[in-house]
């Protein structure tokens, strides 16, 4: 049994040596870094890969995550330029760029960023009024990012973005804003309704105007057509009258020509004169003056009539 004791001790020593050697082998994963101290002082920063440290002399002082990190801070009370107290919560996106400065720059980096964010936000909001605060989120974000990035640079931290998550005004202000928004919506609705009615009235008036223009144009065309038809009828009537007069004149000329060719005696001429006088009187004259020549003809006719009666 005494012979086995040295063997057991040797095995234990070998195991301890292996454990110590294994603990001295460090593998740094992607997007990570390790800050190494030797005898309490900064030795170096290990990047991605396998590394070996001296046992009992070197130690890993801090493991640092190099990915972009997001911190959501609780709402902070701030006062605007017009003395309105509101609460604003922020979201900060940051990334560690120097593990050594991050490890030795500040005791609690996240708490430091939170306090720095609160003070910077109060300084910026203090120069703005309520309406400007509500409508200037992008401006506030830009100013805060620039200020925080400068302040955190000695800590090995780069602030990439700062966003105002919520702006919470007092209840009375919220009620007033809701009433204002409601009044604005009602005003826009009234304007849209009035514009719609205006456009409708204009369209109706334009329709009536176009209808009146079309009616006037149709009436004009109808009047032109009636005038042209009346003109044509007058022309045809005049042509008919001219033709009738021409035929009458032609008939009179033919009668005179026949009469001239027949060589009538004085009695026939006087008889024709009597017929013409009768036609001229036509029973419309109240007083008739008969020339002496026609009276002689009348007596002649009476004599002829009496002789004819005696012969019968």
Mean pLDDT by 10 residues, the chain (312 residues): 70 84 86 91 91 88 92 89 88 94 89 92 89 86 92 92 88 79 86 89 88 87 86 82 80 69 59 58 52 50 47 48
Confirm whether 312 is domain-assigned: no
Q: Report residue 130 as tokens.
A: 């309520």
Same domain? For 59 and 97 the reply is: no
Q: What is the pTM of this model?
A: 0.55
pLDDT the model gives residue 241: 81
Confirm whether 36 is domain-assigned: yes
Same domain? For 158 and 210 the reply is: no
pLDDT the model gives residue 279: 57
pLDDT the model gives residue 262: 62
Same domain? For 175 and 218 the reply is: yes
Same domain? For 118 and 83 the reply is: yes
Confirm whether 8 is domain-assigned: yes
Same domain? For 97 and 160 the reply is: yes
Same domain? For 230 and 286 the reply is: no
Q: What is the DSSP letter of 29?
A: P
Same domain? For 159 and 129 the reply is: yes
Same domain? For 160 and 179 the reply is: no
**Burial group, residue 161, by CB count within 10 angstroms (0-12, 13-18, 19+):** middle
Domain final position from 169, 191, 218: 169
Residue 27: CB atoms within 10 Å: 11
pLDDT the model gives residue 19: 85
Adjacent-strand bridge partners of 63: 34
Domain final position from 65, 91, 106: 65
Which among 253, 81, 76 is positioned nearest to 167, based on CA atoms? 76
Q: Report residue 219 as tokens.
A: 């009436």
> Measured between alpha carbons, how far is residue 126 from residues 22, 151, 239 in Å?
57, 20, 105
Q: How large is the C-alpha radius of gyration of the chain? A: 66
Same domain? For 214 and 183 the reply is: yes
Give the residue numbers spanning the domain of 30: 4-65
**Burial group, residue 242, by CB count within 10 angstroms (0-12, 13-18, 19+):** exposed
pLDDT the model gives residue 265: 57
Are the CB atoms for 140 and 133 separated by under 8 Å?
yes
Confirm whether 109 is domain-assigned: yes
Are the CB atoms for 119 and 140 separated by under 8 Å?
no
Confirm whether 291 is domain-assigned: yes
Domain final position from 65, 100, 116: 65
Domain count, the chain: 4
Q: What is the DSSP letter of 95?
A: E
Confirm whether 99 is domain-assigned: yes
């Amino acid at each position: 049994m005494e012979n086995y004791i040295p063997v057991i001790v040797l095995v234990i020593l070998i195991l301890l040596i292996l454990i110590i050697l294994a603990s001295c082998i460090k593998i740094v994963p992607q997007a990570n870094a390790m800050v190494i101290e030797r005898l309490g002082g900064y030795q170096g920063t290990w990047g991605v890969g396998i590394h070996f440290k001296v046992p009992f002399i070197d130690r890993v002082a801090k493991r640092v995550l190099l990915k972009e990190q997001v911190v959501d801070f609780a709402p902070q009370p701030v006062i605007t330029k017009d003395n309105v107290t509101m609460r604003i919560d922020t979201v900060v996106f940051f990334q560690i760029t120097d593990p050594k400065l991050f490890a030795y720059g500040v005791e609690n980096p996240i708490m430091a960023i939170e306090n720095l964010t609160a003070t910077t936000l109060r300084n910026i909001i203090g120069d703005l009024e309520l309406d400007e605060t509500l409508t200037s989120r992008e401006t506030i974000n830009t100013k805060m990012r620039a200020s925080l990035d400068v302040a955190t640079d000695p800590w090995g931290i780069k602030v990439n973005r700062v966003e105002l998550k919520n702006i919470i005004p007092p209840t009375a202000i919220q009620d007033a804003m809701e009433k204002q928004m409601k009044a604005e919506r009602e005003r826009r609705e009234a304007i849209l309704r009035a514009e719609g009615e205006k456009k409708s009235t204009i369209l109706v008036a334009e329709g009536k105007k176009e209808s009146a223009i079309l009616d006037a144009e149709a009436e004009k065309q109808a009047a032109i057509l009636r005038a042209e038809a009346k003109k044509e009828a007058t022309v045809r009537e005049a042509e008919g009258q001219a033709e009738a007069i021409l035929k009458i004149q032609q008939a009179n000329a033919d009668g005179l020509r026949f009469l001239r060719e027949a060589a009538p005696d004085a009695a026939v001429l006087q008889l024709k004169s009597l017929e013409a006088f009768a036609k001229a009187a036509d029973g419309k004259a109240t007083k008739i003056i008969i020339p002496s020549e026609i009276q002689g003809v009348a007596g002649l006719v009476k004599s002829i009539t009496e002789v004819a009666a005696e012969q019968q």
